[in-house]
Structure 1
Amino acid sequence: MITDTTFDITKTTESRIDQVDFDELGFGRVFSDHMLEVEFADGQWNQPRIKPYGAIEVPPSLHVFHYGQSVFEGAKAYYVDDETINLFRIEKNYERMARSCERVCMPFVDRDTFLDGIAALIKVDSRWVPRKEGDVLYIRPFISAFDRVIAANPSETYRFYVITSPVGAYYSKSVKLTTSQKFIRAAKGGVGDAKFAGNYAGSFYPARKAQEKGYDQVLWLDAFEHKYLEEVGTMNIFVVIDGTLVTPELGGTILPGVTRDSVIQLARKWDIPVEERRITIDEVIDAGKSGVLEEAFGAGTAAVIAPIEEIHHNGTSVTPGATERGPVGQRLYDTIYDIQRSRTEDPFDWVRPIDVSK
């Protein structure tokens, strides 16, 4: 039960919602009225506060600016009706964020603060959850080092925030991918399976070079042999080869995506053959050439199920049989979409409803 004694709630005196064009949201450009803030100092987390969204005043010596000690997550809230907003597998986001924090030597808030804090924030800003079909409220939890000293060791103070943003579709069309033989995303023993801010910063330059060549994202290969598929910049990758759904196995270099896990569980429930294994880029190219690469798509919280229309590697491009969502990808998209909005059976109890009527 959320109470004002658990969360110190200060509401804005003037909402900005009437200034927002909900028909032209884009992604991550508009932010809701409030945010959740929790400070860590003297070895413990202080009382969580929900307060008006706004600037944070910090000094140039702030630890995170210099050493990058920061972790984040991505989730969404879905409009069901005027009384109910759904969260989807939010417990998985908590578990992954806790693992990510441990990997980069950061404390993390307890489970109740994370889950109930997000629910309390959604209740306060429930009007910001888009009603338009396909649009959602994006949820961005993040934690950063907040020491005011320049020292190359773990910070002793931190702040955990949750901000929210009404958004439209992340990808509006099928995507084109290219591999990189020069750059890598992660290596075993590194932080590739953590949602660590630096992972993304390091990928921006290769992604820009790919975009200059007409591609949307980099399809990352392994760090040592440069031949095994890993993931795409913003999502896990799946291919359907001769009726079998294949995705790279987790091994410490790939982010364990929430949508990835959902896709695998649903496909197995439907008796679709699923393989989590090492798969080479040559196998994908050969499948494309021989006509058995039936579908390719990315899966992620932001993208959901994003169809892939081209995969390029070393001067050779292949096109899947379906350049939009194929039968498998479309069924997965439709089912996940409907579960998130309580329009179909939720066989795995993935949805966490929030009563916003009170």
Structure 2
Amino acid sequence: MKIIVDAMGGDFAPLAPVKGALMAQEKYGVDIVLTGKTEEILKALQQCGCKELPKGMEIANATEVVEICDDPATAFKHKKDSSLTVGLNMLHAGDADGFVSAGSTGALLAGATLVVKRIRGLRRAALAPTIPTAKGKAVLIDCGANAECTVEYLLQFAYLGSYYAQKVLGVENPRIGLLNIGAEESKGDTLRRETYQKLKEAGEAGHLNFTGNIEAKEAMLGECDVIVADGYSGNIMLKSIEGTGKLLSIKLKEMLMHSTGTKLAALLLKGQLGDFKKMLDANEVGGTALLGISKPVVKAHGSASEVGICNAVRQAMEVARSGIIDDITQNIDKMRIEQKAE
């Protein structure tokens, strides 16, 4: 298997992407294509102790870089020789099995949509991170790609999330919840109420395991496996989780460092505290799958370390092996809403 890594994307590029690629090669035996400025990539490899290009690794030279300050909607068009554009074109041409970037989310979404293309019949691609819950983890879809949504978008997100939970995460018959301000069927705005009815119909037809509306607090307790949301509310939920995680870590550290007794307790709980920290660490997840694109694309966190890039490569491999894209393609008719003639 071969995965393309955008070596110029992210806060710590090119060193973190290069280190992460080397780590993934060693850990998973995957072939890697690094896209970006050849001289800078080779310099980063030297910093990692590689005097020459490792076996199974190649460089696709790109003279430009999409910066965070660039307009996401047009950056990949204006910078046609950027590491992002070069990598997406290679993926579209079939030169690799997946693509990973820690660069601009907006530019990656726009580039993947216009270069690699959406699966035919899908209205929008969606960002689908996995979030920690009291019972394990859940897929949150969408978390920022589509701030304004229609009923059909949300219906399709439910299917995409269900296939991802089943095929990639190994969840049998994933429970689908619609993020809302209350559990009752009548709760929420018009979009949520109409989406509820379409998801209910899909559940009654046996296409989805729809369990109803779910509040954010219940979702965090693990009461569903897929949380369906528009990108606006989904992003707020995701950022709230990230902020809460950091707050808990800060306060827990303050509490455990308070006295000799609490420091001793911290020493005794070292293993459990390490597990807790890992659960809240975005680098351990790897990245966010961009679902709905015709080939595997994974967005790593902008501040991803080499561990984060390595895990994002693993995630891209899992998506490529899962067969999820074929499943979505074959079942696209279930995800459409027939438009009534006026």
TM-score (norm 1): 0.28
Structure number with the higher strand fraction is: 1
TM-score (norm 2): 0.29
**Higher RCO (CA 8 Å, separation ≥ 6 residues):** 2
